[in-house]
Chains A and B, each alone.
Chain A
Amino acid sequence: MFWALWVSVVVHHGEAADPKLLEWIKNRLDDLLGLAPWTAVILLGVIIIAIPLGLMGFYLHRQRRDAGSDAG
């Protein structure tokens, strides 16, 4: 019974993140940005890692500066 219900759902409604929906989003992004795949990868990659790396850098810099002023 459970298996039948499960299969019924996945057959009817597909994945948690619908691949057709994702494909449509990508097509819209292509239309909007008109970027080559590698350009988009680099652009999005920089956006994705810039803030966390920047935050770590900021914190470490401040820590070093505070340590320096304490020693001085």
Chain B
Amino acid sequence: MSTSPKPKPRVFYGWYIVATCFFIGFFSVGARNAFGIFVIPMSEEFEWSRTTISLAAGLGFLVNGLTQPFLGHIFDKFGARRVVLTGLVVIGLATMTLSFTFHILFLIFMFSFVLSTSLSSASVTNTMALVSGWFVRRRATAVGIASAGTQVGGMFLVPFAMYLLQATGWRMTWAVLGLLTLTVATPMAFLFIRNHPAIMGLRPDGDLESKDGDLDNRGERRQGIYEVDQWKQSFQTAPIWQLTGAYVVCGITTGLISTHFVPLAIDRGVSPSLAATIFGLMTGLNALGGIVASMLSDHFRRKNILAMVYLIRGVAFMLLVLIPGTAGLWAFALVAGVSWLASVPITASLTADIYGTRSLGTISGVTFLFHQVGSFSMILLGGVFYDITGGYNLSFAVAGMFLFPAALLSFSIKEGKYSVRFGGTAAAPAPAPAGTGD
């Protein structure tokens, strides 16, 4: 059972976990997001077409989505420490190895398969599951901050890589990006990651004792009525399908924004530089919107905030379609920016509230796969609709229409009944948590 709690430290150890997960996302995903800067120099040196090198990037995203449930399952079985650390070492080595690229098949193998698979072990999906085990009351806030690392990493690591590439060349840049993962993110993960609070004699949120004195052996207060040991059990219940259904729509809309927004803006007669500025504003609002929405969801019912996020995004899509010209683009950027990524930490936190943390890696991995399928499908459909209609309005209108049912789906989740925050039963003796070995 749980060990007796230590005196309350000034800084709850869970915040070190949050900071570590933030920087894992910062370095690992940030490096992948820098792929775009290598496109021109590598294409020129090897005389590859844009389509050829784009295939490596696209396949990488696909492999990342497909491998996530499996890596999530391994995460649940062996614990965060082993899986994330192994993933980071492979990410670092694979990124460094990209500096030896000599053939497109080498790039596809190393980037699309090795790097993208290892990214699934140290992914936001897994780190969000880790953070969820360390917090209950402030779960969404902690998860929101941890997941913002990917956005902030893109803001710093991409310009860093651009200047480094200019100063040294693409081979050295890949090597340095890999080295950063190995020498900064990996030691940080080694020093800080512990699978759950009970290992350190702590309780979630840093509480000294439970208000109702009802703790299981992971130090959690109560057990939700749908808390599962096997991920398959969760998919026999309604809430996970409500969450996943809405998450597919999240994938549909974010995939469309990230791939087709800039071309749409240029199609409306906006200069590429202004299109990039509008897109930059939107991405800049991402991390902020995500954290604020997460904090709100720790104070109010998460399903209501999640529904609000989808509703706001739906309004943004309608503004884009209905308001012509540049005004529509700015309105869209402002409204969609705050809601673009806010759905991710809230969905992860609500899933943890309902199903517990024992199989959270796998459950989140499966829902992420659905998200990626939605994203991938809409990216493809966006291209097809463009070919048919000669514009992007139809794609954005169709995607936007899905957001209102997604809001309804989220709103209809019976959080008060199933979430451990509001209900739940006294915790039965729980099986030994995965990955207790530290």
CB of A26 within 8 A of CB of B36, answer no
A12-B383 in contact given A37-B166, A48-B180, A59-B16 (Cβ < 8 Å): yes
For residue B19, which residue of chain A has the nearest CB? A55
CB atoms of B386 and A12 under 8 A apart: yes
Known contacts A37-B167, A40-B163, A47-B156; A52/B379 CB under 8 A: no
The answer to whether A24 and B273 have CB atoms under 8 Å apart is yes
* Contacting residues of chain B (356-404) with chain A, CB-CB under 8 angstroms: 379-380, 382-384, 386-387
Known: A13-B260, A44-B156, A48-B180. A25 touches B276 (CB 8 A): yes
User: CB within 8 Å of A: which residues of B?
Assistant: 16, 19, 23, 33-37, 39-40, 50-51, 53-55, 57-58, 61, 156-160, 162-164, 166-167, 180, 184-185, 187-188, 191-192, 258-260, 262-263, 272-273, 276, 279-280, 379-380, 382-384, 386-387
**Judging by beta carbons under 8 Å apart, are A55 and B156 in contact?**
no
B-contact 0/1 string along A43-55, CB 8 Å cutoff? 0110111011101
CB distance B160 to A52 under 8 Å? Answer: no
Q: Please, could you name 16 A-B residue pairs with CB atoms under 8 Å apart, sorted by A?
A: A5-B383, A6-B380, A10-B55, A11-B51, A15-B39, A16-B33, A17-B34, A17-B57, A21-B272, A22-B162, A26-B166, A37-B164, A41-B164, A53-B184, A55-B19, A56-B191
Cβ contact within 8 Å between B280 and A14: no
Output the residue of B34, B157, B188, B383 with the most chain A CB within 10 A: B383
Please, how many angstroms separate the alpha-carbon atoms of A67 and B19 in the complex?
Answer: 23
Chain A residues closer than 8 Å to B37, beta-carbon distance: 17, 19, 22
User: Which chain A residues lie closer than 8 Å to B185 at the CB level?
Assistant: 52
Q: Which residues of A contact B382 (CB under 8 A)?
A: 9, 13
CA distance A17 to B150 in the complex (A): 14
- The contact string, 1 if C-beta is below 8 Å from chain B, for chain A 24-42, is 1110110000010110110
**Shortest beta-carbon distance from B9 to chain A in Å:** 9
Whether B162 lies near A10 (C-beta < 8 A) is no
What secondary structure prevails in chain B residues at the interface with A?
helix
Q: Indicate whether A16 sits within 8 Å of B35 (C-beta atoms), given known contacts A38-B167, A53-B184.
A: yes
From known contacts A9-B383, A49-B180, infer whether A19 and B54 are also in contact, taking CB-CB under 8 Å. Answer: no
Q: In the bound complex, what is the Cα–Cα distance between A18 and B184 (angstroms)?
A: 27
Query: Do A25 and B159 have beta carbons less than 8 Å apart?
Result: yes
A16 to B19, CA, bound (A): 27
Q: Are A19 and B156 in contact (CB under 8 A)?
A: no
Interface size range on A against B: 35 or more
- Complex CA–CA separation, A60 to B258 (angstroms): 40
**Bound: A52/B190 CA distance, A:** 13
CB distance from A56 to the nearest CB of B (A): 6
Judge whether B50 and A10 touch: CB under 8 Å: yes
Residues on B with C-beta less than 8 A from A44 are 156, 159-160, 163
B19 contact set on A, CB distance < 8 A: 52, 55
Cβ-defined contact, B188 with A52, below 8 A: yes
User: Which chain B residues border A52 with CB–CB below 8 Å?
Assistant: 19, 23, 184-185, 188
Output the residue of B40, B163, B184 with the most chain A CB within 10 A. Answer: B163
Choose among A35, A37, A41 the residue with the greatest number of B CB atoms under 10 Å from its CB: A41
Q: Which residues does chain A contribute within 8 Å of B280, judged by CB atoms?
A: 25
A16 x B259 contact (CB < 8 A):
yes
Q: Indicate if the CB atoms of B23 and A13 lie closer than 8 Å.
A: no
Q: Which of the residues A21, A28, A47, A49 comes within 8 Å of B262, measured between beta carbons? A: A21
A23 to B272 Cα, complex, angstroms:
11
Partner of A59, one of B33, B191, B262: B191
A66 to B: closest C-beta gap in Å: 9
Q: Is A13 a contact of B156 with CB atoms below 8 Å?
A: no
Chain B min CB distance to A8 (Å): 5
Contacting pair B35 A15 (CB below 8 A): yes
Is B383's CB under 8 angstroms from A21's CB? Answer: no
In the complex, chain B residues whose CB is within 8 Å of the CB of A5: 380, 383-384
With contacts A15-B35, A16-B57, A19-B37 known, what are 10 further pairs, Cβ within 8 A? Answer: A8-B383, A12-B383, A15-B39, A15-B50, A17-B37, A17-B158, A24-B276, A26-B159, A29-B159, A41-B163
Smallest CB gap from A44: residue in B? B160
Chain B's nearest CB lies how many Å from the CB of A16? 5
Determine whether the beta carbon of B259 is less than 8 Å from that of A8.
Answer: no
Query: Nearest Cβ distance between residue A21 and chain B, in whole angstroms?
Result: 5
A17 to B382, CA, bound (A): 17
